[in-house]
Structure 1
Amino acid sequence: MIKFYRTDHKVLSEITEYEDNMWVCMTKPTVDETKLIAEDFEIDLADVRAALDDEESSRVEVEDGYTLILVDIPSIEMRNEREAYTTIPLGIILVKDILITVCAEDTPVLDAFIEAKVKEFSTKKRMRFMYQILYRNCMTYQYYLRVMDRRRNLIEQRIQDETEDTDLIDLHELESNLVYFATSLRANGVVLDKLARYSSIKQYPEDQELLDDVMVENKQAIEMTGIYRDIISGTRELMTTIINNRLNNIMKFLAAITIVMAIPTIISGIYGMNVSGKWMPLAKTPYGFYIVCGIIVLICIIIALILKKKKMFKM
């Protein structure tokens, strides 16, 4: 799908044909659509379709007549029947006085501009527009990172009550998401460094200030990713420790029960041996059976009290 936008008097409107200073937004474009844009603006077809390949790496390529900037943006996907985060490429092509974006799916990074959530942007200032897209991308990363941290907090709150296998799986998914984010953010950082150095890309003072802000926010997102990975690692170790501690308590409880139950088993085993009754204590005593049972119960109670004092029955 291809849509054309242009700002006039600070108002973004959709247009139906090519105009100067417009924004060409390509979302899940077909092969024919990419060929059309490549031919109309004299761009290499491979560069137009680069953002549609999940394996493409972030980079900057300055060609004759146009510049390709490829960065990774955050995206939501379903993984193992759970909502998870990953990254996908976003292509930004600067050609003449037009900015072209190419993405394999709808993204909040670009939707914010279409829905007029970004103030003071203009398709006529394509360099500033591009840096605003990159800035919005960094803010989207930070938003998703905070969402992941809230999910971790919910899992951590459940640790005190009961830890389930799904909590461990969710923690692993969150850590995997952070790995994707960290890798993509570092690659984006390299792209931003190249944009700051390239003299062939025309820069304005206000654009340079915005680029500096983008670099700062990207570094902050990288730091947030590292911090949250460390916190999740600590949470997982805490969960493992709690699970092992609960297992140890259960084993102690079972061992205590075994010790208490061993007393009547031993005594009844002795009295059950095939020997003469005259050798068995209380065998010929009136109510001898009840006396032996009482002694067994008394010994079990004493052993149980000793084990309770040593906190062996604590679950």
Structure 2
Amino acid sequence: MIELFSISNNGIQKRTSEGNWIAASDPTDKEKEELCKAYKLPSRIFSIGKNYSNVSFFKNYLTENEKSVCIMLFIDLKSMDEPESLSSTVTVFLTNDVVITISEKSLIDEVLNKFGSEISSEAGLILHTIQVINEHYLNFLHLQREKIEEISQEASNGSNRNILEKTTDTEKTLVYIDNLLKEQHKTIHSLLDSDLVSSDRDLAIEIELQTKQATTSVQIYREMLSSISGLINSMMDNRLNQLMKFLNTASLLLALPTLIFSLWGINTGGLLWKDSEVGSIMVVLLALIVSIVSGIYLFRKDYNA
């Protein structure tokens, strides 16, 4: 689908023909061919975003005709639930005459709904598009913060397999988002340092702060999750230590009666209750008493002292 818009001091108006902003959303092969022919675009411009996913890019260069051309790739989040499989690439192609965006239609609609009346230049369009993309990241990170707090609350009540799975999934997601933001931060930094956005410096500063907030937030959340993972590991180690303490104590308590029975079974004479009718019972009672006393002592002993 191809939509044409006119960007001027009056904002953005939709056109049926000839505009200085062309918004392409999943264009057909025929539409691609017509655009490339009309604006002398590189034939591979529509496949860049698909062939190089999860990559952010900024390049400003001169064509053979000494015309300035700029290509930008940004990474947007289409889903708050599965960012790894549902991230999308936003391609921006800027010339002296026209700006072409290739993205999901939902992103274009969101930009128009929020900032349609404020955009008065191609630079403003690009910056506001980045602003919306950054908002998607910040909203996603807010959801991750809530998930981390939920994991922390559950971990304080005890660890189980469900908590471990949540922690692992959240950590994997944050690693993915962290790398996307680092990649995108380089591109945004290159864009803000260029002359393309010199007329919108206030907005550029806001975008820079917004990007920094996202990159800082993901680092903080990763450290928070790392501390929770350490707590869970400590709890598991403590449980394992308690189990080993119990097993060692049980082994010792089982060994004591065996030792006593073995001593009374030597049959070398001189042992107590050798000729008594209740000798066997007395030996069993002795073994039981020794085991009980030893068990009470061992279970009450503080091994951490």
Give 1:31 shift: 4.7
1:70–1:111: structure 2 CA closer, same or farther, 3 Å change rule? Answer: same
Counterpart check, 1:196 vs 2:192? yes
Q: Which residue of 2 aligns with 1:150?
A: 146
Q: Which residue of 1 aligns with 2:71?
A: 68
Structure 1 contact 10–120 (Cα < 8 Å) conserved? no
Give 1:250 shift: 0.8
Which amino acid is the alignment partner of residue 191 of structure 2? L
Counterpart check, 1:125 vs 2:121? yes
Given candidates 252, 256, 261, the residue that maps to 2:249 is 256
Seq. identity, %: 18
| 1:107-186 correspondence runs (5 A) | 109-113=107-111, 116=113, 118-121=114-117, 125-165=121-161, 167-186=163-182
> Residue deviations 1:210-241, cap 9 Å, x none?
11110111111111122122222222222222
1:30–1:171: structure 2 CA closer, same or farther, 3 Å change rule? Answer: farther
Structure 1 contact 38–44 (Cα < 8 Å) conserved? yes
- TM-score (normalised: structure 1): 0.79
Give 1:97 shift: 5.5
Q: Which runs of 5+ in 2 are unaligned?
A: none
> Residue deviations 1:105-141, cap 9 Å, x none?
x486445236x2x145466633212111111111211
Q: Which residue of 1 aligns with 2:204?
A: 211
Given candidates 201, 213, 221, the residue that maps to 2:214 is 221
Structure 1 contact 182–222 (Cα < 8 Å) conserved? yes
| 1:43-58 correspondence runs (5 A) | 43-53=41-51, 54=53, 56-58=55-57
Structure 2 contact 12–116 (Cα < 8 Å) conserved? no
Given candidates 289, 307, 311, the residue that maps to 2:298 is 307
Q: Partners of 1:57 and 1:31 in 2: how far apart?
A: 25
Q: Partners of 1:90 and 1:221 in 2: how far apart?
A: 18
1:224–1:60: structure 2 CA closer, same or farther, 3 Å change rule? Answer: same
Q: Partners of 1:57 and 1:23 in 2: how far apart?
A: 21
Structure 2 contact 256–290 (Cα < 8 Å) conserved? yes
Q: Partners of 1:66 and 1:112 in 2: how far apart?
A: 26
Q: Partners of 1:58 and 1:279 in 2: how far apart?
A: 93
- TM-score (normalised: structure 2): 0.81
Give 1:187 shift: 3.1
> Residue deviations 1:46-84, cap 9 Å, x none?
233212221644213345364322122235498xxxx45
Instruction: Give the aligned CA root-mean-square deviation in angstroms.
Output: 3.3
SS at match of 2:275: coil
Which amino acid is the alignment partner of residue 260 of structure 1? L
Q: Partners of 1:109 and 1:239 in 2: how far apart?
A: 40
Q: Which residue of 2 aligns with 1:35?
A: 33
Q: Which residue of 1 aligns with 2:259?
A: 266
Q: Partners of 1:107 and 1:247 in 2: how far apart?
A: 54
Structure 2 contact 83–173 (Cα < 8 Å) conserved? yes
Q: Which residue of 1 aligns with 2:89?
A: 89
Counterpart check, 1:294 vs 2:292? no
Q: Partners of 2:145 and 2:203 in 1: how far apart?
A: 28
Q: Partners of 2:274 and 2:234 in 1: how far apart?
A: 53
Counterpart check, 1:25 vs 2:21? no
Q: Partners of 1:160 and 1:98 in 2: how far apart?
A: 57
1:124–1:24: structure 2 CA closer, same or farther, 3 Å change rule? Answer: farther
Structure 1 contact 23–123 (Cα < 8 Å) conserved? no
1:232–1:202: structure 2 CA closer, same or farther, 3 Å change rule? Answer: closer
> Residue deviations 1:120-171, cap 9 Å, x none?
5466633212111111111211111122222222222222344334544443
Q: Partners of 1:211 and 1:311 in 2: how far apart?
A: 62
Q: Partners of 1:243 and 1:68 in 2: how far apart?
A: 51
SS at match of 1:101: strand
Give 1:286 shift: 3.1
Q: Which runs of 5+ in 1 are unaligned?
A: none
1:31–1:242: structure 2 CA closer, same or farther, 3 Å change rule? Answer: farther
Q: Partners of 1:12 and 1:25 in 2: how far apart?
A: 16
Which amino acid is the alignment partner of residue 37 of structure 1? L
SS at match of 1:61: strand
